[in-house]
Amino acid sequence: MFDYSDLRRRFAEVARTVVLEEVPAIEEYQWPGRSMRALAEAGLYGLAVPERFGEELGRISPSASLCFCMHVVGSAVIAAKPTDAQAERYLLPIARGEHLTTLALSEPGTGAHFYEPTARLTREGDAYRVDGSKSFVTNGGHADSYVVSTLSAEGATAAGMFSCLVVDAGTPGLAWQDTWRGLGMRGNSSISAMLDGARVPAANLLGEEGDQTWYVFHVIAPYFLMAMAATYLGAAQSALDLAMDHVKERVHVQKGQSLAEIPAIQTRIAEMWTAVQQLRLHLYHAAERGDLGDPGALPFILSAKASAAEVAVQVCNEALTCVGGIGYRENSTLWTFLRDARASHVMAPTTDLLKSWTARALLGLPVL
């Protein structure tokens, strides 16, 4: 079995040095460019072990973790069925740490139903013309390429089928709109893109026309859900660690008693710790089933991210209660984690949809 400990150590090292230093800038809505470069230079751009790096990066900066996750999931989509030309143009530079990609799936019109794009693809000789709009593109304006989902070109497949293709940064017809000002995940640069007659080489189509649903379930779902769940696990673990350190150190002068000695605080610590351990076991078990190609892995993977969302928000919130007024002050570390954790429920696949899909998978119903 592959030993992940060295990789995990490298992620932790970058997270606890460069990413940690960049957190104040991230909180000022700056895209974490230094962190991303450091991850590339540490030889980590070409990896696909989302549960391990997600947890390490998420402990320091969920926002930087998300920027990195989107690159890894975008890379996995390109790597799933690459042509020789795509491997040469995208995968080799990604492996060398020279190319950043990201996912542009969501659209303003379809919202949480990111698997039903309406962007249009029209075949024009040896190229495609792409028209449509994409929303919340993390790393928007900073990536070297964008994995974009569209309706299949007319006549290429049955009606209603979808495709994925790579659109290079700087493609004429690709324009960025607005700036990112989120409640949390402030470094994300999750902005909107307009594709207005963008001309993309036909060679940039990923897989076959109409393959997009295959990508959603076989590549995006497992990698993305594990990376997201791990990011929020990292946030929950950090919030718990902060609360435990605080309650041990905080002593009231009148009795000389620390918060750690108060039964109500102990109950909160025990509940937070239990929730974090349960989430970690669930997540790594789901990842292992996915790695083994277990056909029954899907409900484990779907529910891991929904569970991570609930645990992260709950633990960050409870940790804030334990830390009291100091934690509530503007720009406390817990405030950042709580704001970042809140993104988990609204980012697709959203918690509501994941629960519905988990139940459908368990009941033998089509997931979509």
Ligand X SMILES: Cc1cc2nc3c(=O)[nH]c(=O)nc-3n(C[C@H](O)[C@H](O)[C@H](O)COP(=O)(O)OP(=O)(O)OC[C@H]3O[C@@H](n4cnc5c(N)ncnc54)[C@H](O)[C@@H]3O)c2cc1C
CB of 190 to ligand X, least distance (A): 4
In eight-state DSSP terms, residue 131 is E
Q: Residue 268 or 299: which CB sits closer to ligand X?
A: 299
Reading the block at residue 95, the tokens are 């492996």
Q: Residue 49 or 348: which CB sits closer to ligand X?
A: 348
Other C-beta atoms lying within 10 Å of the C-beta of residue 220 = 26
CB of 13 to ligand X, least distance (A): 26
CB of 253 to ligand X, least distance (A): 42
- For position 231 contacting ligand X by CB under 6 A, the verdict is no
Terminal C-alpha separation, the chain: 34
The residue among 65, 58, 112, 81 whose CA lies nearest residue 239 is 58
Query: How far is it, in rounded angstroms, from Cα 132 to Cα 283?
Result: 35
Please pick, from the candidates 33, 46, 93, 111, the single residue that binds ligand X as defined by CB under 6 A: 111
Residues near ligand X (CB under 6 A), total: 24
282 touches 304 (CB < 8 A): yes
- Please identify the residue of the shown chain whose CB is closest to the bound ligand X: 111
Please pick, from the candidates 31, 45, 68, 114, the single residue that binds ligand X as defined by CB under 6 A: 114
- For position 343 contacting ligand X by CB under 6 A, the verdict is yes
40 touches 11 (CB < 8 A): no
DSSP codes of every residue in 79-116: HHS--HHHIIIIIHHHHTT---EEEE---TTTTT-TTS
CB of 273 to ligand X, least distance (A): 28
238 touches 64 (CB < 8 A): no
Reading the block at residue 170, the tokens are 């700087």
φ and ψ of 184, to 5 deg: -135, -160
CB of 315 to ligand X, least distance (A): 19
Please pick, from the candidates 57, 193, 297, 348, the single residue that binds ligand X as defined by CB under 6 A: 348
- For position 224 contacting ligand X by CB under 6 A, the verdict is no
Please pick, from the candidates 185, 226, 247, 302, the single residue that binds ligand X as defined by CB under 6 A: 185
CB of 349 to ligand X, least distance (A): 8
Please pick, from the candidates 182, 210, 214, 218, the single residue that binds ligand X as defined by CB under 6 A: 182
Please pick, from the candidates 75, 106, 152, 237, the single residue that binds ligand X as defined by CB under 6 A: 106
CB of 351 to ligand X, least distance (A): 7
Count, residues in the chain: 368
Q: Residue 32 or 272: which CB sits closer to ligand X?
A: 32
DSSP codes of every residue in 180-206: ---SS-TT---EEEEEEEEEEEGGGEE
- For position 359 contacting ligand X by CB under 6 A, the verdict is no
Please pick, from the candidates 197, 288, 352, 365, the single residue that binds ligand X as defined by CB under 6 A: 352
218 touches 367 (CB < 8 A): no
Q: Residue 163 or 243: which CB sits closer to ligand X?
A: 163
CB of 309 to ligand X, least distance (A): 11
**Amino acid sitting at position 34:** R
Other C-beta atoms lying within 10 Å of the C-beta of residue 155 = 8
Contacts of 58 (CB under 8 A, 6+ apart): 65, 230, 231, 232, 233, 234, 235, 238
- For position 190 contacting ligand X by CB under 6 A, the verdict is yes
Please pick, from the candidates 12, 91, 112, 156, the single residue that binds ligand X as defined by CB under 6 A: 112
Looking at residues 278 to 317 of the shown chain, list those that interact with ligand X (rule: CB under 6 A).
none
Distance, CA of 342 to chain centre: 13
CB of 240 to ligand X, least distance (A): 23
Looking at residues 48 to 77 of the shown chain, list those that interact with ligand X (rule: CB under 6 A).
70
| Site residues (vs ligand X, CB under 6 A) | 70, 102-106, 111-112, 114, 136-138, 182, 185, 188, 190, 343, 346-348, 350, 352-353, 356
